[in-house]
Amino acid sequence: MRHTHNKQIRRVLGIDSRNSFGMLWICLGCSALYLSAANKTIDFKSSTLNKTPTGFTSHVSGTGPVGSWAVLEDAVPTLFKPFTENSPSGETHKVLAQTSRDITDERFPLLIDQSTLYSDFELKAQIKMVGGATEQMAGIAFRIQDENNYYIIRASSLGNTVMFYKFEDGKRSQPISVNVKIEKDVWYELSIECRGNQINCKLNDRPLFPTLNDSSFNQGKLGFWTKSDSVSYFGNVSIKYKPKTPPAVTLIKNIMEKQKRLEGLKILAVDPDNEDQIIQIIASSSPDEIGEAADEVGKDVLENGEIYIRKEKKIVVVTLPLKDRNGDTMAAVEVTLKRFLGQTQKTTITRATLIVKLMQEQVNSFRDLFY
């Protein structure tokens, strides 16, 4: 059986950077610690010099070519005050650098960490503006959906400003800006806390903006950002975050709890975060199956919209397409049902189709399975 698938708020604070290492603290939301937080560190220690770090992808917002991102070595200041004036103020570490000097005005090189989705998080990252004739900017992009949709906080050593704005459908919102002394060739520590839709910013532990609220993006990836011909460095990054359960996993869990006759349920699709782009199990009533490659039946259902039935002694397994709002197949669903007296192929498909319809009421697009 075949189915066709087809207010700008502005406050000026006179805050100067501190000696050779300014501390730039930008906090989004409350400074709460998460009870079940996970921790992640990006330190580039294992990255190959002069190469883009593994697990990151290069993009550009606006116009012009993508950036040139590579791991270099640079003297990064320590977080502790030297014991004496002769004590070293920093050590040489691997850092991430954006070195392209393309002067295209509306060009925003963006390097995205593909490993993790973040909703609420606390982040600290070291940034330094090294060069640029027309721009000298460095920033952290967050809740990234793609290169056209995300939030950004960036610092500028030519403009002596810190700004917050968002890209939505490739267009920049009106920035919220504060004048701050930002020096070239000086490391700063950028600290971001994001919680819910509240956005608050601090510099050297002093507030920059009144509380902001924006609900455009409730989760997404993190990335490093520059503008035009800015040459910028990024050092160690530490992130504390509340792990996010993918919507597909939550969907499976909820349906299994309500449909007592179900013996099993799984969704097969191409995970956009998987570099190999293989069809795999992205959610299952048996969590240990998540990440396994799809069998040939699952592949055929996803690629051709076929419906398959496999009968066993006590169960029957139906694999059928899950379609988006346009009627195109976005995933395959494997429904495992208990066998019952008088069961026919028609009644089996009908029962399995009802399960898929429940899913389609909650999932309108492919992105809804992941984000």
* DSSP secondary structure string for all residues of 39-79: EEEE--TTSPBTSPPTTEEEEEEESSPPP-EEEEEEEEE-S
CATH code for the domain of 235: 2.60.120.560
CA distances, 300 to each of 269, 280, 319, 321 (Å): 12, 13, 10, 10
Residues 163 and 222 in one domain: yes
Strands 198-199 and 212-213, by their bridges, are: antiparallel
Residue 58 β-bridge partners: 111
Residue 13 lies in a domain: no
Can you tell me the distance from the alpha carbon of 16 to that of 321, in angstroms, rounded to the nearest whole number?
A: 59
Q: From residue 243, how far is each of 102, 211, 368 by CA, in Å?
A: 37, 25, 17
Question: Does residue 195 sit in the same domain as residue 224?
Answer: yes
Do 55 and 185 fall within a single domain? yes
| Rounded Cα distance, 112 and 224, in Å | 7
pLDDT of residue 26: 38
pLDDT at 85: 53
CA 24 to each of CA 51, 74, 75, 203: distance values in angstroms, whole numbers, following the listed order: 28, 19, 18, 5
First and final C-alpha spacing in the chain: 32
Task: Give me the residue label for tokens 């950002």.
Answer: 225
Residues 152 and 139 sit within 8 Å (Cβ to Cβ): yes
Contact by Cβ (8 Å): 169, 196: no
Rounded to the nearest 10 degrees, what angle do helices 345-360 and 247-258 cross at?
Answer: 130
Residues 152 and 280 in one domain: no
133 and 281 belong to one structural domain: no
Q: Which ranges of 84-234 does DSSP label H, i.e. alpha helix?
A: none
Asked if 134 and 103 count as a contact pair (C-beta separation under 8 A), the reply is: yes
Instruction: Supply the DSSP string of 231-269, one letter for each residue.
Output: EEEEEEEEEEE-PPPPHHHHHHHHHHHH-TTEEEEEEEE
Single out the residue in 241, 258, 275 at which a domain terminates. Answer: 241
Does 307 share its domain with 161? no
Distances (CA, A) of 241 to 19, 123, 257: 31, 8, 28
For position 243, what pLDDT does the model report?
78
Q: Contact, 331 vs 366, CB < 8 A? A: yes
Domain count of the chain? Answer: 2
Domain termination residue (choose one: 214, 241, 268): 241
- Tell how many helices (H) and how many strands (E) occur in the chain: 3, 24
Say how far apart CA 231 and CA 61 lie, in whole Å: 17
Euclidean distance between CA atoms 247 and 219, whole angstroms: 12
Decide if 218 is inside a domain: yes
- Output phi, psi for 222, to 5 deg: -110, 155
Of 185, 216, 241, which residue constitutes the final position of a domain? Answer: 241
pLDDT for position 273: 65
Q: Are 265 and 330 part of one and the same domain?
A: yes
Q: Which CATH number characterizes residue 351's domain?
A: 3.30.450.40
Residues in the chain, how many?
A: 371
- 16 is a domain residue: no
Helix spans in 59-133 (H): none
Q: Does the residue 3 lie in any domain?
A: no
Residue 350 placed within a domain = yes
| Structural domain includes residue 303 | yes
Which residue shows structure tokens 């199990």? 281
Please tell me the predicted confidence (pLDDT) of residue 55: 87
Both 227 and 302 in one domain: the answer is no
Residue 14 included in any domain: no
pLDDT one digit per residue (tens) for the chain, 371 residues:
433 333 333 333 333 333 333 333 333 333 344 445 789 999 899 999 999 998 899 999 999 999 999 999 998 765 444 444 554 556 889 999 999 999 999 999 999 998 888 989 988 889 999 999 999 999 999 999 999 999 999 999 999 999 999 999 999 999 999 999 999 999 998 888 888 898 777 766 777 778 778 999 998 999 999 999 999 999 989 999 987 788 899 999 999 999 988 999 999 999 876 666 789 999 999 988 988 899 999 999 999 999 999 999 899 999 999 999 999 999 999 999 998 888 899 999 999 999 999 999 999 899 889 87
- Find the domain containing 292 and state its range: 247-369
Q: Are 130 and 232 in contact (CB under 8 A)?
A: yes
Kindly state whether residues 237 and 350 are assigned to the same domain.
no
Q: How far is residue 242's CA from residue 314's CA, in Å, rounded to a whole number? A: 40
Q: What is the pLDDT of residue 76?
A: 78
Tell me: do 210 and 258 sit in the same domain: no
The reply to whether 221 and 334 lie within a common domain is: no
| Residue 193 shares a structural domain with residue 280 | no
